Structure 1
Amino acid sequence: MDDCIIIGAGPAGLTAAIYLARYHLRIRMFDSGSSRAAMIPCTHNHAGYPEGISGKALLARMHEQARRYGAHCIPRRVTAIHPEDAGFRVATEDAEYRTRSVLLATGVVNHRPKGLLPDVHDPALERGLLRYCPVCDGYEVTDKRVGVIGTSDHGMREALFLRGFTRDVTLIAPDAAHDLDSGCAKALDEAGVARIDGPCGGWAIEGDRLALDTASGRMRFDSVYPAMGSRIRSELAVSAGARADPSGCLEVDDHQRTSVPGLFAAGDVVKGLDQISHAMGEAGVAATTIRNMLDRQQPIRR
């Protein structure tokens, strides 16, 4: 029986693996290969890398560090978590494993605008023409022309956040006319944020800008931010009995414990800032709590 199975090998999962391996615990880490961090072309927001670092390079370094302590990633998708009296039974597509504890670090998937196909999406993302995290990279669009795809309160809040970096912000409805109450409209007007109805379409990279069609004609931006929410990948924990909020974020206590004893969660699958540093901090808390919990059950001795 493993001491802990980690599901997900993004910044949270890998941080937990490093901690738990260094605690001399028997761990196993599964990953489906779809970490959102791998999509980051270059982050300048992560402390310790003044020249910036790509998400793939950061994950590669973390994998290397985990391997030094015997923590290896198994490229396999987990299909179910089954609580049992002595821990859990974790099922993958071709086998089952028993473990005393589970840490879920499966993250989220951003919703993309309709019609934004990979042949435009991926190059635009790589060039910084398409961005998903204004907390991470709002600085990079300082004084640039920025489009925000979204509406209602969520779209308004993201547009206003970006207004702190540039005067030229346009909020574009993703499907049809905007869905903005009077308070949202007033806040946007006071901030000088333009509003354009959708639908969006005709996505293309034109020169150094990302272009799209709107109800007001074709528009071009230095960067576009989809503000359309995300899908929280919490299904495994919810199916195992863990509580989640209406958006799907797992409910955890101050030590990253879910409502299912022995099942922990860290990173973007938990409600929070959706930042690498925050996910890593949560993983450190979870890993140490797991170690202490297991030690109380059976003292860890060398």
Structure 2
Amino acid sequence: MADQVDVAIIGGGPAGLTAATYLRRFLRSCVVIDAGHSRARYIPESHNCPGFPQGVSGRELLARMRAQAETFEARIVEARVERIENSGEGFTVSAGERRWHARNVILATGVADRLPEVPWCEDAIARGALRLCAVCDAYEARDQRIGIHGPADGLIGHARFLRAYSPDVALLPTDHALAGADAATARELGVRVLPPGGTLDFDGERCHYRTPEGDETFDTIYPYLGHHSYADLLRGLGLPADEGELKVDLHQQTRIPGLYAIGDVVSGLNQISVAFGQAAIAATHAHNTLPHRPRGSVL
């Protein structure tokens, strides 16, 4: 038998936990099904998250938000959703042997960064030697020696952004050398381009980029290797994702009524503050579509 809830929230990151807090304060039943893969857990310390002038780590933020949702008796289940089915009057969400039937579903799965396949990756992220979001923390990397690592065809846009923060920016292409307009733009920006296909290493403090032509040390490296999405959950619903990012309307609703998407899985700016707003919009709209439930009389 499936548990009955008003709303099933898939993902327990900042977006999903915010939605849960709103829905419980609307006196709606909801469940947060969380696989524990929020990108926020990688944040050593965020300084652009509203309300934390001294900064906050991703793990601390998640713990605080979970405690806040649980204050209003939000139910949080540790599980990985494998399937979402449209069951007529709502959806059936499955995770292993467990199932939930919900009038509405809010997708807050986020995306998973493709990280360098090295054993020291998480240690380097924790120390700021690898950084995953220039919008989030380029301010902290200003005037450092910055490397940008990834496929050549996607590096120039990141270089243009980061060149505003440091005079010493280098491109570390994983596949081939830059050519044509991209090579010319790199020269105009004053950005160095290193030989492609080098290897990354980490000495416990800084990252190194090694090629047959030499070894360069960087204070921080931004890897832009793409990401994995969780769009496979939607295949049974006939809702394809565009490069892992879903299209939604002004209410954060997909083209399937009752199915919402918030946070990094949605096209747009991947920021915690944006996820907060999207969660509030989706939760409020979902609440307003559910049957009205008058409170019992007080005698």
RMSD: 1.4
Q: Distance in 2 between matches of 1:188 and 1:234?
A: 34
Contact kept? 1:155, 1:228, Cα under 8 Å: no
1:225-244 to structure 2, matched below 5 A, reads 225-244=222-241
Contact kept? 2:114, 2:227, Cα under 8 Å: yes
Q: Aligned letter for 1:229?
A: G
Contact kept? 2:159, 2:191, Cα under 8 Å: yes
1:1-302 to structure 2, matched below 5 A, reads 1-113=4-116, 115-117=117-119, 120-175=120-175, 177-178=176-177, 180-205=178-203, 208-245=205-242, 247-294=243-290, 298-302=291-295
Tell me by how many angstroms 1:215 deviates.
4.6
Tell me by how many angstroms 1:153 deviates.
4.2
TM-score by length of 1: 0.93
Q: Deviations over 1:20-74 (max 9, x none)?
A: 0100001011000111101101011112111100000001110010001110210
Q: Aligned letter for 1:75?
A: E
Tell me by how many angstroms 1:214 deviates.
2.6
Unmatched 5+ stretches in structure 1: none
Tell me by how many angstroms 1:156 deviates.
1.0
Q: Aligned letter for 1:301?
A: P
Q: Deviations over 1:270-299 (max 9, x none)?
A: 0111100001111110001101111xxx21
Tell me by how many angstroms 1:238 deviates.
3.8
Tell me by how many angstroms 1:181 deviates.
4.5
Q: Distance in 2 between matches of 1:299 and 1:184?
A: 57
Q: Distance in 1 between matches of 2:123 and 2:17?
A: 27
TM-score by length of 2: 0.94
SS in 2 for 1:235: helix
Q: Distance in 1 between matches of 2:244 and 2:236?
A: 12
Contact kept? 1:79, 1:91, Cα under 8 Å: yes
Unmatched 5+ stretches in structure 2: none
Tell me by how many angstroms 1:232 deviates.
2.1
Moved over 6 A (4+): none
Share of identical aligned residues, percent?
Answer: 41
